Structure 1
Amino acid sequence: MRIGLLTDGGYPYAAGQSRLWCDRLVRGLTQHDFDVYALSRSAHQEDQGWVELPHHVQRVRTAPLWAPEDDGRTYGRRERRVFASHFASLASAVCSDGAPEAFAEGLYGLAGLARERGGLYAALRSELAVRTLESACRAPGARRAVHTAAVPDYLAFTDELERALRPLSLDWYGDDSLGAVDLCHAASGGTAALPGLLAKRFFGVPLLVTEYGVQLRAHYLAAYDAPLAAPVRALLAAFHGCLASEVYRQASVITPGNTHARRWQEKCGADPARLRTVYPGMDAERFTAVGEGDDSGDPHTLVWVGRIEPAKDLIALLHAFAEVRKEEPEARLRILGAPVTAPGSGAYLAHCRALAAQLFPDEAADAHAVGDNPVSFEEIGGPEAPDLADAYAAGAVIVLSSVVEGFPISLVEAMLCGRATVSTDVGAVVEVIGGTGLVVPPRNPRALADACLALLRDPERRERLGAAARARALELFTVEQNLAAFRDIYLELISHSPVRRDSDAVDGDGEPVPFATPAEAHVPGHWTGGRTRPRWAEPASVNAAAAPGGPDV
């Protein structure tokens, strides 16, 4: 089977949210060939290069969403009329609570125009687009939030819209690209799934959408801090809502990573019959030594592991630990964070260090030490910090204090290490824990402190919860169960899809030619011709794109 893997800001780039699970998926399903169609989010991401690709990744096509992609084409009078008609349908659906059919008509109409004529970049930034959008915003029945939009708002929205719709203008929709795959697998919803929508529209290729974090929810959270006017935020939220609904409507199967994501998808119109929960797969082997009988952790130490950012609410954790310290003077807190790279994370880390020094003024002389200082800030992988497994092994209780969380990866890792956990009730935490840890309300330092004290004072309970947590994690959250689920879904989808034959295996009437495909073509490997041709048999442009270092630019 030939899989078109669609990613947005992730695999095969060395940095990105979907990189790890996509890499495990591709390496675990060696019986299939993969073509990767990747959208990049920044020049920095592209400069970091790609991960090493396995041999059955046949080709990689990339496109940036961060740089201008003007093809230099403009429309004549006829094309402008066609564009205005389709853009009016899309704008009307975005500006009002219009029917999904209007959004789909506009979206696919613009895609067809871009495929035939190009020029969508200039058209979406033209005066015609602004006038059309203005009419939609002021039409009867338009959302109240967009009535006050002015020309600067229209320009800001069309600029954001052009970036979101940039996949419509790519040269990925031909018989030798997405038209040649058996199945499109989008690694997230939203923009990443757009090429899959067009592959289904133009070629009938089935679409599978996986969302471990709901893209629409991520957009809502990001838009809150975006420096955009209220009408622009309202228009963007409406557009992404319409796009999510269309993706869910067209996908043959949708695989949320947890029940929290599933509820979002159902609220956006996803058919429950098409939803299959597939938990992310974690590498359990790296935690085996810790999980199987390692009791070397300090029984008085709490450990926090993750990315240091405001959503993790380390402020509440530090206040909670101050309460713990009052009742258990020997207690310690080790905060082990990933290297700080996100904008604003450095300032938040500095604020947390300052708070720790304020809460423990007589003991926080050295914010990096672990010795007599009750709170330490360490970097995972740093010269003096432990690796990930040793980080979890360092203490008796693992704490998660987030106020916003999707699927809590660090919690699963702690469970694989057989550690008792205290977590806040956010995202998929309760679903992951399943009764094997303590859960408290978010933003409640007193409740967090009480739960930590309960486990610090009861080693037998810690041991029971840790053993149950590891058993649950091994049953539900391993790479093996993840691969088995997708292997079955791939086969199910292809069994319900029309047979797709190579052009050289059929005659003029579309009937199969006897013995056109040799039996050896079905043997795993890349030494045969046809669909399993080796990489050196690809065109030169494809060879360049498939190299581990990426295309020369």
Structure 2
Amino acid sequence: MRIGLLTEGGYPYVSGDARLWCDRLVRGLGQHEFDVYALSRSQHQEDEGWIPLPPNVRRVRTAPLWAVEDDEVILGRRARRRFTECFGELATVLSGASGGAPTAAKGPSEGTSTPEADRFANALYGLAELAREEGGLVGALRSETAVRTLERACRAPGAHRAAREARVPDLLAVAAHLERVLRPLSLDWYEDAGLGAVDLCHAASGGPAVLPGLLARHFTGVPLLVTEYGVRLRTHFLTAPDAPPAVRSLLAAFHGRLAAEAYARAEVVTSGNTHARRWQERCGADREKLRTVYPGMDARPFAEVGESPECADPDTLVWVGRVEPGKDLVSLLHAFAEIRKRQPKTRLRIVGTPAGSEGTAYLGHCRTLAAQLFPDEAEGPHADGDNPVSFEEIGGPELPALADAYASGAVTVLSSVIEGFPISLVEAMLCGRVTVSTDVGAVVEVIGGTGLVVPPRNPRALAEACVALLRDPERRARLGAAARARALELFTVEQNIEAFHGIYLEIVSRAPIRRVVLDEAGAPLPFAVPAEDHVPIRWAAPSPSLVTRDGPGWATGRPVRATTPAPAPAPEGAR
């Protein structure tokens, strides 16, 4: 099987999101071939390069979302009119002037307007067809015409309040965002030698990564699989809280409509947990298409610690993760101050690196707070003892590996106020450690009944749960063993790969054969693709592997030709 893996800011880049997940999937399905179509997010990501690719990756094509040169396409009068009509229809749906939902597409149970979904789809594919005919729409999407069209839609009768109040800077911001997200429309990835040659498109995330899959399905009929470990609409709400209301509303409407279109066209939609699945349903996904496939973790680095239930210090709490405000280490420090009153020997190890400049500032704030909460024990020349709170990173002499961090304590704590799929909890579970965590994201789904859960932003409840486990070693051992068993059953790489392999076969088994095989004379060869075409056995010598790093404009290949030898003539008597 030949799979087109679609990513945005992820695989195969060294610093990409979901890089490990995609790499494990590709390597685990070595019997299949992968063509990777990657959208990069920054110059820094491009400069860092790719991770080593396995031999079953036949081709890699990239395109930037962070910067783009003008395609120098000049639209004629008729093409300009078509662009204005299609982009105007898209803007009208987003502004709500046509009666659509102002912030997100609603699910079927909530009265989704089918004509609204059709209008969005017609506008989207109309722009894609125009881009294909003209050679691109980069200049048009960045033009003053696009901004004025968006403004007319926001001022039209029936537009929702946030759109009507949009100012010129808001309209420019929205137009710039739409141009960036819609750049895949101008790529030449959808010909027979590109995505038209794959058996299945697998979008590894929502947003721009879905667009190549939608267009491949629209132009060549390639089936689409959408995987989301974080729903883009939810990410938009979390990452743009300070944006003007008009910008938030219009972009939320776009991401909601795009998600609904992707869910409607995809054969199967998978989520990493039921928390993301509920968001997908809210955006209009059909429940019959939804599957939950948990992220796969490599259990081998944690095997030695997990099989040895003894901990280095039964009076130590451990926090592991990226240091950022959403992890709410402030509440953890206040909870630890309460824990120290009841268990004076307890220590807290905060293990992690700051996430960007915001994380660095937050780490400094947490260090200052720790020194203020424990002034008599702070480090320094006049201190009476070591501070019970330590801030460390993986790779030092005491914590050379990630598993050593979890092994250094009796209880692993998670204090987040925002969380998707809690990777650190799964790692702690693989190490056989009991956990105390806040009830956010997919936390309850991950730990099941193997740990304690408390409300977020509640230091007192967090302290009481930690004290209860610190005082009961038998309970810690029992819950830790159950946690490890649950993690090995649900959250390993093997179960993730097996689940996607089954989904691939299911989708392809329902998809018709689309490729035309030609004989040596160039004529169509009937019945050239047997049912065994999708069995992972090579009946002929494979073609040379091709991995290129070219951008838009690669050469169009020729149709696939039959490689099996011609049958020998039958004996005279058998004719």
Structure 1 length normalisation: TM-score? 0.92
Query: Contact 1:133 / 1:154 at 8 angstroms: preserved in 2?
Result: yes
Query: Which residue of structure 2 aligns with residue 28 of structure 1?
Result: 28
Distance 2:252 2:422 in 1: 26
How many pairs does the alignment contain?
A: 531
Q: Is 1:202 aligned with 2:212? A: no
Query: Which residue of structure 2 aligns with residue 157 of structure 1?
Result: 174
Distance 2:246 2:172 in 1: 12
What is the identity percentage for the equivalent residue pairs of Structure 1 and Structure 2?
A: 69
Q: Which amino acid aligns with 1:150?
A: R
SS of match in other structure, 1:395: coil
Q: CA deviation at 1:405?
A: 0.4
Distance 1:458 1:520 in 2: 59
Point out the structure with max Rg over C-alpha: 2
Q: Deviations over 1:346-368 (max 9, x none)?
A: 1011001110011011212169x
Query: Which residue of structure 2 aligns with residue 423 of structure 1?
Result: 437
Q: Which amino acid aligns with 1:249?
A: A
After superposition, the Cα gap between the structure-2 partners of 1:204 and 1:521, relative to the gap in structure 1 and judged at 3 Å, is: closer
Q: CA RMSD in A?
A: 2.2
- Greater shift, 420-429 or 214-223, is seen at 214-223
After superposition, the Cα gap between the structure-2 partners of 1:100 and 1:85, relative to the gap in structure 1 and judged at 3 Å, is: same
Q: CA deviation at 1:522?
A: 6.9
Q: CA deviation at 1:191?
A: 1.0
Query: Unpaired runs of 5+ in structure 1?
Result: 547-553
Q: Is 1:492 aligned with 2:506? A: yes
After superposition, the Cα gap between the structure-2 partners of 1:239 and 1:16, relative to the gap in structure 1 and judged at 3 Å, is: same
SS of match in other structure, 1:303: strand
Query: Unpaired runs of 5+ in structure 2?
Result: 101-115, 552-575
Query: Contact 1:190 / 1:247 at 8 angstroms: preserved in 2?
Result: no
- Greater shift, 500-509 or 248-257, is seen at 500-509
Q: Which amino acid aligns with 1:239?
A: F
- Choose from 144, 151, 154 the match for 1:137: 154
Distance 2:15 2:47 in 1: 10
Query: Which residue of structure 1 aligns with residue 45 of structure 2?
Result: 45
After superposition, the Cα gap between the structure-2 partners of 1:63 and 1:392, relative to the gap in structure 1 and judged at 3 Å, is: same
RCO higher in structure (CA 8 A, sep ≥6): 2
Query: Which residue of structure 1 aligns with residue 188 of structure 2?
Result: 171
Q: Is 1:477 aligned with 2:491? A: yes
Query: Which residue of structure 2 aligns with residue 91 of structure 1?
Result: 91
Distance 1:148 1:521 in 2: 55
Query: Which residue of structure 1 aligns with residue 457 of structure 2?
Result: 443
Q: CA deviation at 1:524?
A: 5.1
Distance 1:152 1:392 in 2: 48
Q: CA deviation at 1:383?
A: 5.6
After superposition, the Cα gap between the structure-2 partners of 1:483 and 1:507, relative to the gap in structure 1 and judged at 3 Å, is: farther
Query: Which residue of structure 2 aligns with residue 67 of structure 1?
Result: 67
Q: Is 1:304 aligned with 2:319? A: yes
- Greater shift, 120-129 or 177-186, is seen at 120-129
Distance 1:440 1:52 in 2: 42
Query: Contact 2:61 / 2:548 at 8 angstroms: preserved in 1?
Result: no
Query: Contact 1:366 / 1:373 at 8 angstroms: preserved in 2?
Result: no
Query: Contact 1:528 / 1:534 at 8 angstroms: preserved in 2?
Result: no
Q: Deviations over 1:160-181 (max 9, x none)?
A: 1100101111111111010100
Q: CA deviation at 1:373?
A: 2.4
Query: Which residue of structure 2 aligns with residue 216 of structure 1?
Result: 233
Distance 1:451 1:210 in 2: 35
- Greater shift, 259-268 or 374-383, is seen at 374-383
Q: CA deviation at 1:118?
A: 2.8
Distance 2:290 2:356 in 1: 33
SS of match in other structure, 1:51: coil
Query: Contact 2:62 / 2:549 at 8 angstroms: preserved in 1?
Result: no
Q: Is 1:281 aligned with 2:281? A: no
Query: Which residue of structure 1 aligns with residue 57 of structure 2?
Result: 57
After superposition, the Cα gap between the structure-2 partners of 1:267 and 1:523, relative to the gap in structure 1 and judged at 3 Å, is: closer
Query: Which residue of structure 2 aligns with residue 373 of structure 1?
Result: 387
SS of match in other structure, 2:315: strand
Distance 1:288 1:233 in 2: 45
SS of match in other structure, 2:4: strand
Q: Which amino acid aligns with 2:366?
A: C
Structure 2 length normalisation: TM-score? 0.89
Q: CA deviation at 1:520?
A: 11
Q: Which amino acid aligns with 1:426?
A: V
Q: Is 1:239 aligned with 2:249? A: no
Query: Contact 1:507 / 1:513 at 8 angstroms: preserved in 2?
Result: no
